Structure 1
């Protein structure tokens, strides 16, 4: 009897989930129910999936509204009707147009108009599929309205939005948030009626007892509706069925591509092992109907190669020889002995994961290609939920709390005695709203390519970049048989591609290398020594302090070692304690046999019986706990967090323990192994995934080894990496580069290199407008170098504020005129000559001015750079108020081992973390006064006493310790050091205001 039910996917309106709605129906003995969220279909598929568990017949619809004004409710008679609804809503969402008051002539949809709307309209005629909805509160008006004569058109329209008073209060708060108003100012028209609740069926029948024909009409309408989606384990894939025109043709194409790839990949050395692996994979891919899935990935990567786009294929699909032969990945599963069953097995319903990374510049072009190439394409949605801080801030505004109270509450400081009851309400309702969906967004990478129109499953909306996006997330997509294609963006590939181009420009005689010839890089002792000594700054995935530390501890000097390290660094392995155990077993011969269980050692001999890769979960579950491969895969997927609460996962989890007990394992051992599985599986990589990352790392390392300056320019031009740009500039200087501030004759918008001279790009000048940069480059390209300030002003339209930035950074230093004099001249020239917005036909005659001799010191220049670029181009140690009292640096750590050291460091990065008891501690990476890197750790007692207060130089006193050969300092005390006063403003501090004003004019007129 309920035709108009909302969940919290009626965004900022509804108050509970689709499961809660079904539970409510079960409690009230409601056997069939229509889900009709407002202009949204996010809950629909899961509602259908869950409904049988509650003995409810699910029916789908949409509540079409403009704001809160209800136009009509559309109810799907069947799947065709549901698609019709989705197409109608999608059209209006895509074009951002209002819903019409009257519905179009739908084919498979029932339309229910609200009683109030029809009462106020002049609509007299109703089509066969159109009805008038009436609620319990509308009944009293029916006898006196003109609508009483439509006895065959009246149906029950009792809306369901709340369960109780608390829901209603939460709803009012959501509406205030949506309207950005104080709760006291919220208009009643924006709020649903408090009676929008689900009553027991018996009560509803009683309310309509004098109008039984309305109940009969409603029952008849419900009985004519049905919806069907297959959520079973053996469901058919809903992805594009055939890449070509038929299954047979797809299979022939896949086989031909593999045969073509064999001699190219294996250079004529095709062993029996390779042939057997290929045969086994092809048989399974065909049996599981994954042929088109592989061919679509091949199509995408083939187009990327055609366009000259760099990419990396990773994920569990990288365990596949078919993927290797199709050039979807560059990982050879034979050479790496990649576990076949992680890639695919007969019990696996979903295809393997292919994560294809493109450069951040190329990803959008590839996404556009996919949308143009295939018929039924959409991005996967995701739900952005209300988080604690956001909820508290929003509710704080709604209740009118002062900013300081909102700040305190959002930081989790709790309600102080000075706070009133409003603050307590913020926390009370914050807990209720926290976790509710706030809006539907776009999944980071997922694209759906379907056999049917995507509106068969959901309505779509258009995010800013203009790609249609479904209303549901990846978990629901997989439930219904839609498997996403992951197209990701990363900056590492942009760095590699740009470096190759920069080398061709800067060192054309050395540009004849093949960046894809990674097999040669693996054997290169120069590259492997960079890994072993952790000289990996700027290199993909291996530059962070944690990775640098791990590489040194493991003494990694080969590709396979880097593959393992790429997965060991993941949070789960560290959390389980197995990172440390792996290092111990790696460094100490015999420890694996002493500490490892024989079964674990036999399953994972290459990793000393330690779970390192995602497929190790499958191996342990299958061989150690005796689960089938299908059950083992359910366990692995459940550990990822996507399905952790699912019933099937809980069953497999229980069977893991039962089987282990049956095998006679000790309870302590079972607990230990389960803890390892549970703690790391969701964060570990598949081995093929790690191998793909290691390929890109080796490409980056090759470029750093042989073209370090060009590579560092590319790193900077691609937005840096783990560290601030300043650190990469420093690294380039340490490798022999001369760093120049921006210059109007030499610089581009991005950084550029000439020989060993790097000119910083104009992009670093924080307040310099993009259009000014483009104007300068365009004019210089068209008419040549600028000859003087006057020449520049004749050719480039620029304001005094923008010109001041360029002069202050010394971008006109080629004129050999002091920048203070240039600032005076710029002001005088621009004030005497009114600027036109059009280029001049003839060179202007400039008046000569008498300007006093002025000077700028190196210290002043450093502070100007600091202000304009964000960092000085000199060593920050040159700017200390007091010079260091200790000459110790990174090179001295070894001689101070197990002793105390006094050392100064310029802060590079801090990692704030917590112990297992929740106490704060810090790991910090710094530069010493000679430019070398060293690491410190502040354990909780010290971290509680001393705090890092932003960028700057700190003096440390602590103990030098070594862990597996990695040296660091356990800090005992530290102190931030002061810089000299900014000389540009120093006179203000002495009270000489006249001198200050003059210097201010010289330095930064117009800022």
Structure 2
């Protein structure tokens, strides 16, 4: 009887989740209702699924109580509004009706066309218009008018009585009680960005828009029983039960076939794999042939050929049509088929990677490939995918952001009309106890309690793309976010529940570093680099020596302070150790103490005590510590005797990704029973299980770590043999872990001559010729994008600029923009100092001049004046560089200091002063805040000394102020030199920022 129900997916309007709506309906004995969220179908399939699931779950309980069980019949549709003005509600008769509604809304979303006042013809949809006293519209066969109980008086002598069969019961549902009505008012105020008291009534729902019993609703229409009958007939004719799959695993909705047939897919995949096998392993490798056949058998058995072929098609297009470099990572690197198809560059045989971690006979969902491209190339690949598959069959995965703690407090405070200062105090964690006694804050918290974690807005997933067999619009309408790709209206969890698996097309800057470095080496050195020649890289003694030193600044995944420290502690000089380091650096492993345990055992392998021979055999590579998810699988398989499929399911279950507790308990029991059959003692089994269960939740895929390690080696190779080109590539791809100046400093250390931007030498980005490097116009603070492009484009087209006058005329630059360039020295080619040029530019641009359209017939010269001597100060120029670049290029931060003192010890000599208290001066690079077991704060700092070398500090809570760091600059550090597995750092005792000289301009 309820044709117009809103859930919380009616964003900033509805107040009840789908489960709350269903629970309330069951409590009231409601048998039928229609979910019609405003301009979206986010919750439609979820609503249908949950209605049936809750009905099945309750059935046995109802029978036990002697009641007749019943099922809430779910019907779905969409409510269409413009600027909160209700146009009409569409109700799907069946699955085709749901598709028609979704495609109607999608069309207007994608092409940004306002919804029409009257909907188009939809054969499988009922259209319901709201009742109006002056309603006179000619109704079609599928069109109706909904009337509220309080509007029945207006039916007297109304023209609609001539079409009695067109009238329906209309009782919208938006809230559940007075409290949630108030919540609704807060939502509306937030949506309209206004005060609670200023939300117009027409922007809110009516006070009575809550669920009531069907008997009460029918009673309200007892004078018009034909309206009730019409409504019942309409609902009875709707059937969306096809959407419910009474199975823990929904049937796959992904594209079934790549070639069009299953046999065609099998043949194509086998041919590609066989060709790739020769490329990767040569002509005669029985082990590889056997494993490839095993994998293909399982892939074919699970009907996942299309998933592999679609991924291959994406990668093949990137390599052969675009020349793009990619990284295939994640559990997909466990697959030899993926390795042979060049989806990944990780050799699973070389690393003893289990295919079962990726795919096995008992896996029900498709495998998951993560493909990384450069940050500026990913969109090209995305557009290829969207052009490759038909409309409505490809879409981005959505996300649903929710109201978060501090954001909620701010939003609530704003609509309550609180001043900004008071709102700021309410969001300050340090004032939590003080605020609890504040009545306004208590009221705010009460609203926060109801609003927290409710849907706020739909957005787009970082990289997930869905490619479907049938139109996606059977399950959702599509949005068109600013990114410019159709996007489904639900997230990855609902996608999984429906039966979709995503293709992750991701991006990272590390790939951009590698790609551009290879291009620059070809251009600057004339050398062609095969960046995929990984076997050569990993066996390069020079690379491994530099890796061991722990200074790989700019290299993907291994440049952060924590990773640099770990590399030095491990004395990492080989690929397998780097793979392990990439895994144990993860927060969960590190905080659990396993990272420390691994390092200790790594340095004393002879002292490792294994639980038993099986554990020694399987975990010798990692010294008895389970570092990878694959280690969990190995132990479950070889120690307990579980087959590899069950071992992976158990591993997945312990990571929190298994929904059935009963099935999980059965697997645990199977582990113990199977281990007993292997002859192990109860004490040993219990201890092995303890180690497995304590680690599995933190574990990281070895294949994932291996993918990272491959890319790290590629970066390290380029930095080692072509450091200038590599660091230029890092700068042009917006760096990595550190601020831009750190990479400029690293570039200068390579021997490159780095110049400030110059209008006659610089491009938009950094360029390099031989050892001469010119910074680009990108990065100059305040320089407009149009000038960043115009200056080098005009120079390339019409030759170098002759002088300031020529530059001004040819670029049409404004006075303010010219001043920025002059102050930074970008026109130094003129031979004039900056202050003279600043004087001159005012002659050209310091007054308004009527713009002349067209070229000059004769060249007119400006008058010149004799100027007094203007002196440039080195410190003043350094301050200008700091202001306009964010760092001084031709000076160091140390040059700003009032003192000439640079510390008693340099970073390179720390190993000579172990256990001693020393003084150092360091240029601040970065910091990391952590919480101790006692919930106090401590910090880790990273600095450069006056020689440009890194050193690290530890700031314990009892030895530092509440917040020790005061922004960038140089600090005087008093501390004790300590060493941990060969890595030296400073335990800080005293710490203070040093004073700097004033800018001469400020003094004058």
For the Cα contact (< 8 Å) 1:415–1:424, is it kept in 2?
no
Distance 2:899 2:647 in 1: 63
What's the counterpart of residue 748 of structure 1?
Answer: 763
| 1:31 CA drift (Å) | 3.0
Partner of 1:171: 184
Change over 3 Å in CA distance of 1:832–1:193 after alignment to 2: closer
Preserved contact between residue 30 and residue 201 of structure 1 (Cα < 8 Å): yes
Aligned with 1:382 (options 371, 389, 399): 399
Contact 1:347 1:629 in 2 (8 A): no
Q: 2:353–2:630: 8 Å Cα contact kept in structure 1? A: no
Q: Which of 342, 346, 349 pairs up with 1:331?
A: 346
Report 1:78-117 matches (<5 A): 78-116=94-132
Cα distance in 2, alignment partners of residues 717 and 942 from structure 1: 40
How far the C-alpha of 1:133 sits from its partner, in A, is 1.9
CA contact (8 A) 1:713 1:752 kept: yes
Preserved CA contact (<8 Å) 2:942 2:950 = yes
Deviations 1:384-422 (A, max 9, x none): 211112211111110110111111212333374799644
Q: Is the 8 A contact 2:960 2:990 kept in 1?
A: no
Mark the CA change 1:673 to 1:655 in structure 2 (over 3 Å): closer, same or farther: farther
* Superposition pairs of residues 13-412 of structure 1, within 5 angstroms: 13-55=13-55, 56-116=72-132, 119-123=133-137, 125-143=138-156, 145-227=158-240, 228-229=242-243, 231=245, 232-233=247-248, 235-268=250-283, 270-306=284-320, 307-375=322-390, 376-412=393-429
Task: Please point out which of 443, 448, 456 is paired with 1:425.
Answer: 443
CA contact (8 A) 2:654 2:693 kept: no
> How far apart, in 1, do the equivalents of 2:560 and 2:509 lie?
15
- Does 2:10 align with 1:10? yes
Matches within 5 A, 1:778-789: 778-789=793-804
Q: Of 511, 524, 531, which aligns to 1:493?
A: 511
How far has the Cα of 1:166 moved from its partner?
A: 1.7
Is the CA contact (8 Å cut-off) linking 1:946 and 1:974 kept in structure 2? no
Distance 1:890 1:326, change over 3 A: same
Query: Relative to 1, partners in 2 of residues 1:465 and 1:757: Cα closer, same or farther, differing over 3 Å?
Result: same
Give the match for residue 589 of structure 1. 605
Query: Which residue of structure 2 lines up, in the alignment, with residue 982 of structure 1?
Result: 999
Counterpart contact for 1:937–1:970, Cα < 8 Å: yes
Which digits, 9 at most, give the CA deviation of each residue in 1:811-858, with x for residues without a partner?
A: 122222221111111112334793646554543223221111111121
Please say if 1:961 is aligned against 2:978.
yes
Whether the 8 Å CA contact 2:605–2:623 is kept in 1: the answer is no
CA contact (8 A) 1:909 1:925 kept: yes
Q: For 2:373, what is the secondary structure of its paired residue?
A: strand
8 Å Cα contact 1:310-1:358 kept in structure 2: yes
- Local SS of the residue matching 2:183: helix
1:992 aligned partner:
none
Greater Cα offset, 74-83 or 584-593 = 584-593
- Is 1:502 the counterpart of 2:520? The answer is yes
Structure 2, unpaired ranges of 5+: 56-71, 677-681
Distance of 2:941 and 2:858 partners within structure 1 = 59
Matches within 5 A, 1:760-799: 760-799=775-814
Distance 2:436 2:628 in 1: 53
CA 1:432 to 1:589, structure 2 compared with 1: closer, same or farther past 3 Å? Answer: same
Give how far 1:85 is off.
Answer: 0.9
In structure 1, runs of 5+ residues without a counterpart are 988-1007
Q: CA deviation at 1:653?
A: 4.5
Q: Is the 8 A contact 1:15 1:167 kept in 2?
A: yes
Asked if the contact 2:651/2:696 (under 8 Å) is kept, the reply is no
Distance across 2 between alignment mates of 1:130 and 1:599: 72
- Alignment counterpart, residue 473 of structure 2, candidates 425, 450, 455: 455
Is the CA contact (8 Å cut-off) linking 2:914 and 2:979 kept in structure 1? Answer: yes
Per-residue CA deviations over 1:59-87 (Å, capped at 9, x if unaligned) read 22111112322222211111111111101
Is the deviation greater in 176-185 or in 257-266?
A: 257-266
Q: 1:695 to 1:66 in 2, by over 3 A?
A: same
Distance 1:201 1:602 in 2: 68
Cα distance in 2, alignment partners of residues 415 and 195 from structure 1:
39
| Correspondence for 1:903 among 920, 928, 950 | 920
Q: How many residue pairs are counted as aligned between the two chains? A: 973
Give CA deviations for 1:637-663 in whole Å, capped at 9, x if unaligned: 55666x57x4x2x33454465556665
The normalised TM-score by structure 2 is: 0.93
SS of residue matched to 2:735: coil
Q: TM-score, normalised by structure 1?
A: 0.93
- Answer whether contact 1:72 1:114 (CA < 8 A) is retained: yes
Question: Shift of residue 788 of structure 1?
Answer: 2.1
User: Would you say 1:530 and 2:546 are equivalent positions?
Assistant: yes
- Tell me, what secondary structure is at the counterpart of 1:567? helix
Q: Please, which moves more after superposition, 14-23 or 705-714?
A: 14-23
- Are the aligned partners of 1:396 and 1:423 in contact in 2 as well (CA < 8 Å)? no
- The two structures, once aligned, show a CA RMSD in angstroms of 2.3
Residue 613 of structure 1 corresponds to 628
| Structural mapping, 1:358-757, within 5 Å | 358-375=373-390, 376-412=393-429, 413-414=431-432, 416=434, 421-508=439-526, 511-594=527-610, 596=611, 600-619=615-634, 633=648, 636-637=651-652, 643=657, 646=659, 648=660, 650-655=661-666, 658=669, 664-665=682-683, 669=687, 672-673=690-691, 676-677=694-695, 679-681=697-699, 684=700, 686-757=701-772
| 1:731-755, Cα deviation, whole Å (9 max, x unpaired) | 1112212221111111111111222
Q: What is the deviation of 1:935?
A: 0.5
Cα distance 1:678–1:28, how it changes in 2: closer, same or farther (>3 A)? farther
What is the CA-CA distance between 1:672 and the residue it aligns to? 4.1
Once the two structures are overlaid, the 10-residue window that deviates more, 831-840 or 739-748, is 831-840
> After alignment, is 152-161 or 714-723 more displaced?
152-161
After superposition, the Cα gap between the structure-2 partners of 1:191 and 1:904, relative to the gap in structure 1 and judged at 3 Å, is same
Q: How far is the alpha carbon of 1:634 from its aligned partner?
A: 5.0
